[in-house]
Amino acid sequence: PAQRQVLREEIKALLKAKDAVLVAHYYTDPELQSLAEETGGCVSDSLEMARFGNAHSAQTLVVAGVKFMGETAKILNPEKRVLMPTLEATCSLDLGCPIDDFSAFCDAHPDHTVVVYANTSAAVKARADWVVTSSIAVDVVDHLAGLGEKVLWAPDKYLGAYVQKTTGADMLLWDGACIVHEEFKARGILDLKRQYPDAGVLVHPESPESVVAVADAVGSTSQLIAAAKDLPHQQFIVATDRGIFYKMQQAAPNKTFMAAPTAGTGATCRSCAHCPWMAMNALENLAQVLRSGDQEVFVDEATRVLAMKPLQRMLDFSA
Ligand code: CIZ
Ligand code: SF4
């Protein structure tokens, strides 16, 4: 603990010395979330991370999260330096949607408006008409459906199915999934509810439809934190990354939170309610990247200019 404190103090001094601000996702380690809070950075979902980094005056953005979040920061802030604790942290949705296959899919359906989730590479965003996060996916697709547009959606098939069901839009879905949310099981949640009959169930729509069906609230990370505070329940079963418990506990200090059950439990479960890529962010590599300045994010300029358009559309829509 004394050593952690020394490391924290070193990071704080480095952030100041390098004119850098720490932007951390809800799914990162509480150690990083609290450090971002203490140093005037932010802890949030990917939409707010993008907004915060864009508005902040610091010349260096340090993004604790996964690769697409660092790329988004760079696309929006080409003049700033964007560092990540490790460039190795990626996402199964990004990995499952390679640009060549995706581009061919778009070419095959030229009459569709292309809407991609923020959890994609810069190259995939560059091919899209719209970028959305889970907090505004329903609103954007509802808007497009109202204009009579057909939607090609990528990459998360569960979030896509949820948006389709909620809006009634005409949607073609890419076959991708988040390895964390895909593992939650409705049967396990119902079993746990028999033990805690008064518990509310909070579900992120990257989860399978059967899990969404047993929810008391369905929404993005920010929306689930708000629900934890606003719903009358004193206990919650939570179907999203357990990194979120840090902020949920802050929002509702007297309530208790349990991770929703997954199929595989114990040491063999690589992604039980915690993203293995988010988990790559730590105090040690954060300090290291601030000392060395390596692990810098670059996006080639032609891609960046193209990806900027659908991203800006998202920010303008949700402003
Ligand atoms: O699952 C993720 O990576 C999420 C929820 C990202 C985000 O939009 O904050
Ligand atoms: Fe990707 Fe899922 Fe990890 Fe989010 S939690 S970064 S969607 S693998």
- pLDDT digits 0-9 by tens, 142-187: 999 999 999 999 999 999 999 999 999 999 999 999 999 999 999 9
- pLDDT digits 0-9 by tens, 76-94: 999 999 999 999 999 999 9
Residue 269 predicted with pLDDT over 60: no
CB neighbours of 63 closer than 8 A, spacing ≥ 6? 23, 49, 53, 69, 70, 73, 82, 83, 84, 297
Report whether residue 239 contacts ligand 2, using a CB cutoff of 6 Å: no
Question: Residue 181 CA: which ligand 1 atom is closest?
Answer: 1
Mean pLDDT confidence for 203-224: 97
| pTM more than 0.90 | yes
Q: What is the pLDDT of residue 263?
A: 66
Average pLDDT of every residue of the chain: 95
- pLDDT digits 0-9 by tens, 125-146: 999 999 999 999 999 999 999 9
Cis peptide before 85 (omega within 30 of 0): no
Residue 266 predicted with pLDDT over 70: no
Q: What is the pLDDT of residue 319?
A: 78
CA of 180 to the centre of ligand 1 (A): 11
| CA separation for the pair 96, 133 (Å, rounded) | 17
Structure tokens at 143: 């808007």
| Residue 91 is assigned to a ligand binding site | yes
CA of 285 to the centre of ligand 2 (A): 20
Residue 205 exposed, middle or buried by CB count within 10 Å (0-12, 13-18, 19+): buried
Q: What is the pLDDT of residue 47?
A: 85
| Residue 26 is assigned to a ligand binding site | no
Kindly report the number of other CB atoms within 10 A of residue 79's CB atom.
5
CB neighbours of 286 closer than 8 A, spacing ≥ 6? 11, 22, 32, 35, 62, 64, 85
- pLDDT digits 0-9 by tens, 222-253: 999 999 999 999 999 999 999 999 999 999 99
CA of 275 to the centre of ligand 2 (A): 6
Helices 157-167 & 137-146 angle (0-180, nearest 10) = 50
Residue 267 predicted with pLDDT over 50: no
Report whether residue 179 contacts ligand 2, using a CB cutoff of 6 Å: yes
Q: What is the pLDDT of residue 270?
A: 55
Residue 271 predicted with pLDDT over 90: no
Report whether residue 60 contacts ligand 1, using a CB cutoff of 6 Å: no
In single-letter form, the type of residue at position 311 comes to L
